[in-house]
Every structure is written in C-alpha cells, then in structure tokens.
Structure 1
C-alpha cells in the first residue's frame, strides 16, 4: 500500500498567500517547494516551478489562499505524479535487482516518473522521484510515517527487501502569468532641448569671449607702454611681472605682421614711439630681464618654452606665407594611418606642417641656456636667411643703436644668432615613442589574435569530441531501451498488443453496463419487491464493457486490458453495488432507512468510470456552472447521475480532505439532479478519524436531522442524498457508514 502525498499536505507548515500572481512570483523567486490552495484548487511547486494544478487552473490563484511549505522538494512533484498516472512500467524484486542499479539506468535514460518501494516492505514506503533523469529520494518510516529524504532515504531503500515498481509520469511545468508593474510617474529632470552639443557650443562661445577680452587687455597694456625712451630703459632694469603664458591668435590681424623689418635693432629709439615698436621693445626688455632672473625664475621660464615656440612659429608663418599659418596649427595625428610616412631619405612627406616649430625648438637647444623671452615680434620671426655661424659676426648682425643698453644689445645678439630650425626634437621623440607604443600594441594584438585562433581551434576540437560523445550516448540510449524491453519480457510485462495505454486512459475510456441473460428471469427490479433470491439474480446478471478503443489490441501496464480491468477497485465496486448491495439492504431490513439509495439500485443502467457531471449550484448567492469529476458515476437510462463514488486505492487511510471533497462535489450534484440518491467513499484500507467526523457532521445538519433516514445529507426540505463509507479488504466490500 503506497503513501499518498496529497493527503499529507495539511501537515505541512502554513504561510499566508494574499497577493495573487505576485505572491506566486515571490514563491517562485525564493525556490519554494510545496502546495498553494485557493478555493477548491491546489497548485504544487517544486523549487519554484509549478509542476501541477488539481481541481482548477492557474486563473484560480489570482487572489488569496494558503501556502503549505513541503519538508522536502520531492514531495510536491511526487504528489502530482501520483495523481497524474497509475501506469506501472515494470516491477523488480530488490534481492534480484537492486534499486541503485535501476536508478543508474533511469537517470542515464532521462526518465520522468517515480520508483515506489511499498509492497511487502516492513519498515515503510520509499520513493525515488525523477524529472528528466534528475532524482530526489524520500521515505515514510514506521507507523508514524516519519519522513526521511536525501541520501538517508535512498540508502535505506537500497538496503530494504521488497518489490518495487517503476511508474512513468508526464509532467509539464506551468508558466506563471505576468504581473502588471505600476507605471513610474517620475519625469526627466533635464531641461528640454538642452543637449550636450548645446552645452559645448555655449562653452565654446564663452571661451571665445574670454580670449577676445584677453587680447583686448593685452592691446591696452601695449598702449600704456608708450612713455619716453628713458622710462622704458628704467623698466628694463626692473624684474617684470611677466604673463608669458598668453599669446596672440596666430590667425589674427597683428599690425606688426604687415610691415616686417629686416633687423630687430634698427632705429630702436625712433620705433619706441609707435605701439607696435613699443611691444617689440617690451619683448626685448622681457628677454633681457629673463636673462638676469634668479634660478627659480629661470625654471619657470623653461616651463614656458613650448608656448613661446608656438608663438614665434605663428608670427614667422604669418610674415612668410598666410596659408602656411593655418597649416602650422595642425597637430600631427597619432593615428599611423593619418601620419605621413617618411620617404626613402627619412624625410616626412608632411614635414612642412611642423617645420617652423622644429626650427624654433632646435634653435633653443643650440642657443643660450637662459630662459627664452615670453613674447616675440615680427622682427624676431621674419623669414630672413640666417648666416652661418662660421661667417664673420658683422655679416650676421646689423648695426646696433649706440643708445641701446647692454641688456638690449645682448638680447639682439641672441636674436641674430637664433637658428631658423623649428622642428622640436622632443616632439620627434614623443612621436617616435608613440610609434613604438603602436608597434607594441600591434604585436600585442597579433599575439591576442594568435591566442584567439588557438582557442578557436581548441573549441572546434572540443566540439568534435562532444559530437562523438553525443553519438556514443545515443548508441547507449538505444542499448538501454533494448535492455528495458528485455527486462519487461523477463518480468512478463511485454504483450502482443499493438499499443500501450496508461491505467487512467483505460478507465476513462471504459463504460460498464449491467445486463441480463433474460429479462423474463430474476432481475434487480423484481428482487427490489422481494420476489427473487440473490443467487437467481446473480446467475442471470452480467457486466458488459464498452471501450473507446480496441480492447483486444492494447495493453495496460504490461497486462492485457481484460485482466487489468477486472482487477481494478473501480470495476469490483460496480460489480458489488449492482449484484450485492440491494440484497444486503433488504436482508438487514433497512429498506426504509435507506429508501432513496434502495430505490435507485434497480434503475442503474450503466457505470461511467472516471466520469464527470455538469452541475449548476448557488454559491454566495450567485448561480454557478461547473463540472465535477468522480472515479465512478452510476447513471440511469437517461444519463442522470444516481450514485457517485471516489476510491482510495492505497494502504494509507482515507483522509478528511478526501471526505470534504466528496461532500462538496456531491452537494453540487444534488442541487442539480433530482435523481441523485447517494455518494460513496471507498477505501482499500481504513478511514481516518477526522474523515469519520466530517461525514458525521455532514449527515447531522439540516431540517430533517431527526428523521429515520440513515446517513442522510439534507440539501432542502425535500431533497438530499445518502453518504456511504465502504471498506474493500480481502476482495470483500463492507458498508461501514451507515452500519447495516
């Protein structure tokens, strides 16, 4: 006798369920295992996946109910499998074939179903639950049915002696409905229309305005330096507050660039009266003062050389060729594809782009070690040919103004001897370093490509290996199928049937009809009046089967259909009701106490196994239409339900929930059909006390509770039905309630 998990759900730990689909999603996210009840529907979850729903569908759970957390994740899945399928694929004796041996075969074959070790086992019931080859173990030990799971359950079962069955099952994981999330009312805090490009354009305009203001300020300062020659000489002796970091726009219209002078020392006194010449004198004074600065001032001047070099380059380029000024502003690209390649002589094809800058930097490297002046004039940057250093000094320097100071003369000498090279060697070193870094990057990428290529080849090789393993597994699976067929043949499970069906399919497709060899002989209708004996009626009565399939070509659980059907509890119950119950009621003198039931027995025309009844009933004041399912429905010639029955084909006792489900469904049938007379709960074992209490409560309520009718459930003043509890042991059926 097996343990029915659905009957133990009430023992599991409860928790609230009140937010419909959202609560289901929360249970799924936490990997919940157990059952959820809402109304009459039951939903089962294993590790967050919905594996089955009984007495309803997923729409029944968009509300509130109760969740029951299972002590083992195997239990909800086992509960669904036990209810979904009664097929027995094979039976084994553990002494001959160990459970561990079959477990390996089922796991490798991707089996879905369960293994039940229950018959002829003293210690308890044990189960191996499989889904796609993955297994979990549970067991119920002793009279208290103590739960064990995991390795303990498996090892205990593997050491037990008994007969175990392999039962397949079909499990479909049910998806949860989506939950509508509330809309986010938050709005974008950004200002409409204000994009990054707009902000950048505003910043550029502000920067342009600042440059214009700075240029204007420099021009005003130049105009302020128009005193006489004496004042200027005094200022040359003072340490200046230089702003050497600023330079004029290289494309601006500087008046000093319009009339370049051949020499920076000609007519020094006369030119100081003009604004542009005053700027030139200020630049020379700055250079002279820079030569006399302290070591700290020298260091600061050195840091400013790069900006000064670019200023000289712009001035020189403006004097020589206007279009070249724009070209010298271009910075060579760091991208090797955009940087000109050197020719055969090592000269860059775009050397003119930064020629003047390189000349200026080379000149500084060959000149004085003193800091370079912060401002330059057109005279200093004019593109006049520079005489070789080996020529007499008189040829490379113009006549000096006798009134010029020594510092001014020294500055003129420095300017006269400054070379015209403008290529910056530091910049060349920087570019060469960048090229070297690019080469290193290319080598790294090539190395990475080689590594990726190697990985690809390895993955390709692994893919071939996996394909070979797949083919080997397919061959092994075919061998396992052949081995399973051989085992079924050895155990007598194989038949000559053209196809196999499950026990549930066989019962659902079967109807049983009580018929007589001769209606002129003894019949139930005649026996109802007391004129014929039981033996006469049974001799004339026979049960005929009508199937929705060819019974001669199918096998059920390794058995022929006829052998399977006659051994079922459902068929045996129908045979007892039709052939014996009327005589038991009559012989015990309970015809009046069980009048509705007694009058219905001769009218039975056919038995619908795994049948359903369309019902119309009122609940909460509203009329509701639905369908109720029963293991057996006994109907009259018009198809109206006379009697209904549910069976408990288990060694576990009939539970309170079984009784409650039967009473609820029978009441709905009674409200729908006037011909309905009785409901039966049949168990192969016994009735648990709570089940008996439920039956007692149902039969004592109502207006006719003091009537002489036995075990009667009142539905109204004139309608009701008899509630009967039957035990089926040792091939015998005993009416326990009402007691005959």
Structure 2
C-alpha cells in the first residue's frame, strides 16, 4: 500500500466492526464506504461492495479481527482502490489544449471506468475525477495542507487549473465475501454503478425510490368510482338494492337515520350537544347526491373524458367530512383514507355500523331528532354518547399498546438468552484458540531454532518492495569520525579504500523489520541488493573519486562539492517547493540526497525496466528538478538512472536543456542554467551488473 494512502485512511473516523467474514458482511449490509484493514491486508468498500483486497487476500480476514475506517466521501475508497489496482495511461492532455470539462463529457458518455489525475505542473494541489461505467465523482487535495475538497467544488477547481492531466484505464473486480449470498457478478457491477451514481447525486436513482405502486386498498375505491360514473353513493352499503321499489320509502328513512346517527357519532361532544341539525342536513345532502349518482352521471362528469370529476367529487366529499375520527385505530396514526372504503359511508364495516345502532338506541332523543321529532330542552342538553366512544377508543388504544410492549419484551428476552448462549460459546472457543496459539508458538520456536542451526532465515510476514523502500531512509555515518571521511577525501587527504572501510550507510525505517521479508528475502538483504541502495552507495563513495581523478572538479563542481555535505538519503520521497502567500507544493523523486538541515543536494529517478530510458523520463526529471532548483539554491545535480540504456531522443533532451554539443563554450559540463549564477548539473547514469557508469556528461 502507498504510504500516503495509509496515512490518509488511518486519519479517517473508525467504524465498529465485528471479526471475520461476518464483520465484512455486516459492513456490507450497512452500505459501508471506507477501508478495512486486517494486519497488512487492506480492502476498500463502496456502499457495501468490496472493491478490492491489496497486500493479501480475502482469506486474511477469515475469523480475524480487523479495523474499519469510514471514508469522509465515497469517492476516496474508489479512487484508492483504483490507484492500488493500477491501470494503463490511455491519454495525456494539456488543459489549455483540451479542457478537462471536454474530456469529462467524453468519458462519461463512453461509459468509462478509471480515473483522471491532474497534478503535473499544477501548483495548487492534486485533482482527481474517478469514473465507473461513466458515472463520476471528483476529489481534490488542495494546498500544502492537502485540504480535502469533493464533489462539484473539486471538479470546478480542477477545471480552472492549467496543467497536464492523465487518463488511467482501470478494471475494478469486485471481491465476493465468502458466505455472502449476494447477487451474481453482473448484479454487483450494476450495484456499483448505482452506488457511484447515487453518491454523485444522480436524479434518476432518487426518482426510482419515490415511484411506489398504488396500494391494494386504494385501487378498488378508484375502480368502483369510475365504474359508477364518477360519483359513488356516500351512504349506500354493498348490499343495498335500489331496484326494489317496494322498500324505497323504508330504505330511504333508514338510510337517513343511519347517516345522521353515524355523523353525530363522529362529532366532538361540544358540537353535538348543542345542535344536531347540521349533521342531519349533511346526511340528507349525501343521500340526495347518492340518488343522483345512481340515476346517471352529472353533466360535469359527462363532459370530462379524463374522469377529473371523479376525483374532484371524492375530494369534496372528504373535505365536507373532515371531522375528527373516534375510531381507536385512527388514534394510533392510521389515516382514514389509508383503509379501504373509509372515505365512503357505505363501507364502514360491522364495528362502525354496530356503534351507530348502539348510539341510536341509547340516546332516543338523538334518534328522534334525526327523524324530525321534537325533544324536550332537558333531554337535548344532556351529554351525548361520543364521550363514551372517546373513552372506549382510549382503552382500546392502551390495550393494543400494552400488547405491543409485551410482545417486544418477550422478543428482547429471547434475544438476550440467545446472546448469552453465543457469549458462552465464544468464550469457550476463545479458550480453545488461545491454547492452540500457545502450541503453535512453541512449534514455531522449535522450527526457528532448527533453521538457525542450518543458516536459514525465516520471515514472519512480507511487504511489497515499493512500500519497503518508501518507508526507508539511509544515513551517512562513520565508524570513526577521526578517520577517513568524505570531507577529507574532497580535500585529497584520504584514500578511497580507507573511506569505504570507515563509511557506513545506516538505515532507518518507519516499520519493524524483525522477521520481515521482501521479495522472498529478509529485509536487510533485499535493501542491500536493491538498485536504489547501490546507487546511493556509489554516489557517496565512487563518484567523488571518479570526478577528481579525471580532472573534472571545476566542470562538475556542483556535484563534487555537494557529496561531502550528504547526511541523509531519502527513498521515494518528496521535495517541497515554496509558492505564493506562504504555501508550498511538492515534487516526487525516487531518491533524494539531503544535508543536515534537510535541504536537497541531489535528486534522482530510477528506471527499473529492461526497456531503455525514454525522452519523457528525462524531460519529466528536468521539469521537476527545475522547480526544485528555483526554490532551493542547494540543489547541485539531478540524475536519471536506468538499468538498460538511454534512447537517442533522451540524450537529445539532455543536450538541448544543458546547451551541450560541439559548439558549447560553457566551462561547466551538462549544466542547466537558471540564471547567471544559479543552475545545476543534469547527469545520466547507466547501471549494469551492480556497477554504475556516468554516461552524461562524459568524464
């Protein structure tokens, strides 16, 4: 893992996580976005999907505890997963020629998967836009403090910058969590697309969540209303037979009384105890409307082919009856319109009908008033039955709440018992595992002892080569400060063999090297065999004498005079470059030679490939080293080191930059001139069979 990514991720907020695959599945179910770390193994998750596992395999999480870090923005785990996966540079553009916004439109339309990095020749920060199936998210690290900016603001900042941006094509293969009965691979890819789209604010995915189907309880009401021509009776019941002419008078009277009683039952006590006439009038109106609906649709409904009057009539009927409900089910938050038939009096159900009959029976004066009979003043002033209905509703509500609480209590008790059993099982399992660990540790010690006797070194864990070098610093030290040193060699007072014997290149790491293996070797053996270490040793022991013995002390003074000042050598580090208003930005190099104050003396980039060093490699070093030299007068030289050879175009780039060639009158060889007095040497070095040769300039 890249150390900068590690530093960034470990600064995120921690998230609670169980151990093993179960912990991963729990995070997946919660739609977790961030990073998970088990020992040296890293994984990145986006909305519950595991984007990749690095420096290990998914098996490293099996029954292991791990750390989870929640990302401050979903773009970060996707970006880091792509950076660690690695990809191909498909294109490189200069923003003045090809604006970033134009490239973004093309990549989005083409369903691109990968990311765009704008960092080269950009002073203000590093900018990224990450894509999956054309959906994109943007993130930026601005200023010397690498302030995090995401979303549209990050893209707008990037679009305003001038610099070189690269397009990386990266394939993301989702990792299946063992035991996870999820969807197939294609569904997972769709989910990842949806996750990116949702994080980027895609309007379509939000719209889909709001388009819910009409409930089963609502559609029959609409269908019945349409079937009856747009206005169903407000007082009829499903069993009413309007075709029976003999029962017309009695039915109408019974409907009027029932409607009046039912309406009065719904009126609060203060209203119904004063005057019952409005309720009766409303009931009569509803009956009249019902009769009209059965004999034909109204003229307005006939004129409206789209059936708008059906819904208008329904809305008017509901508004006319917006009286507080006394149904105990309604007191718990269930809306009348959410239950089938509650908007029409003909669909009240047996309980409401029973209550209406009971109310009519227990309050004769109320019933007689509804049928047009007069009542005495003393009778009409008595409280009506809605008070009892309210009390009954409260009792019913409390009973239902009590039953719900008891059910929840029983569920919690059962869950507690289950957790206690699981706890006991885990404790027993932990004791067994602890005993097994002790046995394995004892066996390991025996194996170590046996291997030591045979001269074999055993490593406990491994680390990628680039990560191991990135966390390493070398220090120039001496066995005896009074002995042969680089300062004395510079003054011609010490022999090379004496300096080599007295000089020590000590290493310091940001990690524990005990039992660490890199590329199948113990760490120290790997380090001493690396090209980076070999070049550093050559530069501080051999190069000084090669320059002096060939008479090039003056022509390569920037190199010759800086070698005795080397105190620390940083591998895969950065050099800060001051910019306006007290801020700075950084440039990355494979090797950086520094003095005691940390000032850069030499910078170098390595080409480990068997392919020759190219023009772009040399030009990249020239651009970056110029920026460093402008802000640091201590820079004496910049090196390009290759394990193969340099292409002719690469050599021409060095010659053009330094003004070299047959007609050059400069006394300083391969010198990049920044001003009349300031500049540095550009050196090209070839490394073969563990030996290093200065190709440019020719000594």
Instruction: Please give the TM-score of this superposition, normalised by the length of structure 1.
Output: 0.41
Higher RCO by CA contacts (8 Å cutoff, separation 6 or greater): 1
TM-score (norm 2): 0.43
Question: Could you say which structure has the larger radius of gyration?
Answer: 1
